[in-house]
Structure 1
């Protein structure tokens, strides 16, 4: 599947819904449920592979996990690549495209600080130059988790990233209805919202003009908690089924 197919699914008011996957089986489940694309979630993949989130996963292992997902489905796959794992843009693009994925998320913060907006815009522009149209770039805006939490700051970053060549911007954890509405109105491009408790429902997000909705690590956490309960039942001598 091509990046153009994935890009065409980003429709303000009719958002692309992405229940984030963490392995080949969950990727297949997403496709079988009728979703037109699959997105990996870095936190969930890291946990499955035995690492901490925050670029604790060796890049080769993360990309191998993405490749397994891409091989398992017939829909476009987009990968959460955190800050890019220290790869220069050309290598990042080459290695990601080799997995079969046609999209990626890229963050604008480190573990404890925001990256300078101009530096991040330059990085995204270099990724775009290396990829051409072969990659859908979803630029994460982390100001609501590590920055000022001011809409003006988030909007300024979003505009800079779109100008640098990003296809979509992702103000992660932004979820208050009026703030989502204002952000979407002020940003001249597709907006991705993280669905979590307290976020407007999918119909409401569509009405607000959102173009993409991600579920992050939430589904994996729920699945893992359920697996823990099954294992506990076995340990207690009860049937898990």
Structure 2
């Protein structure tokens, strides 16, 4: 089934001359503020969602919070892709049901990772089954299938590239619309992977890795920021507090009180 409406528009963003730069928000205010910078699509960050409520990331603890955030954001003017960890269940049917709920509240994309929550990638067949269940339950939802081989595995392993490609092959066959390999920053390896996959490749931006433009030249179609913006926001808050305590004027810019209030007003359709 060919996606239509917002889902089609989101898929099309992965097939342009330049890669889709996807900023990741952690609440309503951050999402609206990022979208106001001209970004047509906004993702969520599972770390930001979890940390904001005092729960661990990657342990299937934030299903309700993630769905609530999608409900808050799904009616906004931007396209929404949700970071759903591993689907918040090891049961593919329950993962499919969660994806259907995301689609109902307005999300057009879902990010599903194959990390097992124990420091390594989980079974290939299980993740492929989750992807297939999502496509069956919510056919229009853009499934970005993430493998954590480079993120969690031994990057010195001679089998790493082969294991990564085997996983991506299985995920593509299961119906993934895109594939995501966080932790991969080597330009030659990225270019080789682009040549091997049949769907758009997503790479996690790293300040020490290629720029967004360089990733685009390598053939990467989507560049995610993950939890970077959330962590930078925390760092800026601590830095400002440190400056104030030391008698210095805080560096950087901050939106005014009224500007932040206006972000909330947008949620309720107020002028």
Is the 8 Å Cα contact of residues 12 and 206 (structure 1) preserved in structure 2? no
User: Within 5 Å, which residues of 2 pair with 1:177-192?
Assistant: 177-192=187-202
Partner of 1:116: 123
1:100-140 per-residue CA deviation (whole Å, 9 max, x = no partner) reads: 211110011112232211221122111111112x2000000
Match of 2:97 among 69, 91, 104: 91
Partner of 1:215: 225
Structure 2 stretches lacking a partner, 5+ long = 252-271
Please identify, of 150-159 and 135-144, the stretch whose mean Cα deviation from structure 2 is larger: 150-159
Q: Distance in 1 between the 2:100 and 2:198 partners? A: 29
1:67 aligns with 2:71: yes
Q: Distance in 1 between the 2:125 and 2:16 partners? A: 27
Q: Distance in 2 between the 1:205 and 1:13 partners? A: 12
1:168-189 per-residue CA deviation (whole Å, 9 max, x = no partner) reads: 0001111111111111111111
Please identify, of 170-179 and 148-157, the stretch whose mean Cα deviation from structure 2 is larger: 148-157
Structure 1 stretches lacking a partner, 5+ long = none
Partner of 1:138: 144
User: Within 5 Å, which residues of 2 pair with 1:166-177?
Assistant: 166-177=176-187
Q: Distance in 2 between the 1:49 and 1:167 partners? A: 31
Partner of 1:33: 37
1:76 is displaced (CA, Å) by 0.8
- Superposition RMSD on alpha carbons, in Å? 1.9
Q: Distance in 2 between the 1:234 and 1:193 partners? A: 37
Which runs of 4 or more aligned residues in structure 1 lie more than 6 Å from their structure 2 counterparts after TM superposition? none
Q: Which has the higher contact order (CA 8 A, sep 6+)?
A: 1
1:176-207 per-residue CA deviation (whole Å, 9 max, x = no partner) reads: 11111111111111100000122211111111
Partner of 2:268: none
Partner of 1:100: 106
Partner of 1:76: 79
User: Within 5 Å, which residues of 2 pair with 1:216-235?
Assistant: 216-235=226-245
Q: Tell me the SS of whatever aligns to 2:203.
A: strand
**Is the alpha carbon distance of 1:180 and 1:23 closer, same or farther for their aligned partners in structure 2, counting shifts above 3 Å?**
same
Is the 8 Å Cα contact of residues 180 and 201 (structure 2) preserved in structure 1? yes
Is the 8 Å Cα contact of residues 60 and 87 (structure 2) preserved in structure 1? no
Q: Distance in 2 between the 1:129 and 1:169 partners? A: 18
1:5-56 per-residue CA deviation (whole Å, 9 max, x = no partner) reads: 1111102642110111111111112211111101001011111222221135
Q: Which has the larger radius of gyration?
A: 2
Partner of 2:10: 6
Partner of 1:129: 136
Partner of 1:199: 209
Q: Tell me the SS of whatever aligns to 1:2.
A: helix
Residues paired across the two proteins, number: 239
TM-score norm. by structure 1 comes to: 0.92
